[in-house]
Amino acid sequence: MTDGPFRLLSWTPGQTMVLERNPYYYRRGLPYLDRLTFDFGVDPSVGVLRVEAGQADLVGDGIPAADYLQLRSSPQWSADVATRPAIGVYLLALNTRVAPFNNLKVRQAVEMAINKRHLLQLLNGRGVVANGILPTTLPGFDGRDIPDLYPYDPAKARALLRAAGFPHGFSTTLGLGSELAGGDAIGTEVQADLRAVGIRVTLKPLPSEATAIANMPMTTYTWFMDYPDPADFVDGFTSCSAAVVGGSNPAFLCDHALDAAANAARPLPLGPARVAAYRRIDLEVMRDAAYVPLYYPLFTFFHSSRLRGYYVNLAWFPADYTTLSLAP
C-alpha cells in the first residue's frame, strides 16, 4: 500500500530492498524507472568499484577519502561525482551532567583543543568549519556564521584545564557513531587533539542511533534539517525537555534562559528579526560550550554516467528517486 511513486516488492532486512513502479501514482508518467534495488551494508569503497564496473548506478554519502580524490581527478569519472552542501551539522556533545564535563572550563578547553581545519583537511575539504550549531545554509542565514568564540588554541586549553583542577588532564570515552561518514577522521582527530592537551580518549564505536541513548561522557552527534527553520536545530539540541536519555539533546544541556529565548523566538515571523534572534541563541548555546560544532558537511554522491534526473532533497538526507532515469 502506498501513494508514493514506488511500492515495495521485496525486502530482506540488512541486505536488499526492491521497489517497483507504482502504476497508480498520481503524477502521470512518473516514475521513469520500473524497478529500484537497494543493496545495504555495502562497503563504500566496494560501492564505488561497483559503479565503476557498471554493476550499480549510485553510491550514497560516505565515499572514502582515497576514492573521492581519485574520482574527482579522474577524467573518466569526475563528471559523475555530485556534491551539495548539506543543511546539517556534525558536532561533539559533552555530557553536562557527568564530571568532568559538568565543569564549564573543561568544556571550553575541549572547544579550544579541537583543530577543525585539520579535521576538514582529513575530509578532503568536504565541509565548512562550524562555529555554532546552526548551519549557515539555513534559509535566511546567507552563508554567514556566528563569531568563533573558541579559536583553536591548545595552550589556552591546557591553561583552562589547569584552572579547572585537571593539571594532568583526565581519561574519558568518546561514543563514535560507527556508520557516520567521516567517523574515522573525527575519532582520530579528536583523540589526537585532546591527547595534546592532556585528555586521554578511548573511542567506543556505537551504532549512530545509539549515541543518543548510550549516555556517554562525550559523543559524536549529527543533525540534518527536517524542515527549513532554525527551530528544528535549537529545540532539539537545547531544550530541557529533550535532555533525557534517548532524547535529541545528548549534551543534556538544560539552561532555562535558553529555553525562554527559544520560546520567544519560535513564534517570530520569517525574516531578519527571526534570523537575528536565532543567531543570538546560537551564541548563547556556544557560551554554554556543551556542543563542540565541528563542521557543516558537504554531501558527495557518485553515480553511473547513464543516470539522469538525479536530485537530492535539501531537507534530511535521501535523494528523490521519482525523476531518476537511465540513458540508453
Partner 1 sequence: MAVDVPAFEPEAAIGMRPSHPAWRRLRKDPLALAGATLGLVIVAASALAPVLAPHNPDQLFTNGLTASGMPLGPSAAFPLGTDQYGRDELSRLLYGGQTSLAVAVSSAAFATAIGLLLGLVGGYLGGAWDNAIGRLTDVVMSFPLTLFAIATVLIFHPTVGSLIAVISLITWTYAARLIRAEVLVLRQADFVQAARALGATDGRILLRHLAPHVLPTAIVRFALSVAQSLLLESSLSFLGAGIQPPTPDWGLMVAQSEPYYATDPLLVFLPGAAILLTCLAFTYLGEGLRSALDPRGGEATV
Contact positions vs partner 1 (CB under 8 A)? 45, 64-67, 69-70, 115, 117-118, 120-125, 184-185, 187-189, 191-193, 195-196, 202-203
Q: Are 199 and 205 in contact (CB under 8 A)?
A: no
**Shorter beta-carbon distance to partner 1: residue 124 or 238:** 124
Closer to partner 1 by Cβ: residue 30 or 65: 65
Q: What single-letter DSSP state applies at residue 302?
A: E
Cβ neighbourhood burial of 201 (10 Å; 0-12, 13-18, 19+): buried
Taking the complex as a whole, the smallest distance from the CB of residue 120 to partner 1 amounts, in Å, to 8
Name the minimum Å distance from CB 116 to partner 1: 12
Q: How far apart are CA 299 and CA 283, in angstroms?
A: 26
The distance of closest approach from Cβ of residue 210 to partner 1 in the complex, given in angstroms and rounded to an integer, is 17
Provide, rounded to whole angstroms, the least separation between the CB of residue 2 and partner 1: 38
* Three-state DSSP state, 24: coil
The two beta strands, 81-85 and 291-303, are: antiparallel
Given the complex with partner 1, which of 58 and 119 has the nearer CB atom?
119
> With respect to partner 1, which residue has the nearer C-beta, 115 or 322?
115
CB of 122 to partner 1, least distance (A): 6
> In the bound complex, what is the minimum distance in angstroms from residue 193's beta carbon to partner 1?
8
Residues 103, 215: Cα–Cα separation, whole Å: 17
- Pick the closest to residue 134 from 318, 278, 292, 287 (CA basis): 278
CA 244 to chain centre: 21
Minimum CB distance to partner 1 smaller for 196 or for 210? 196
Select 121 or 263, whichever has its Cβ closest to partner 1: 121
Q: Secondary structure of 281-299 in the HEC alphabet?
A: HHHHHHHHCCEEEEEEEEE
E-assigned strand segments in 182-261? 199-206, 218-224
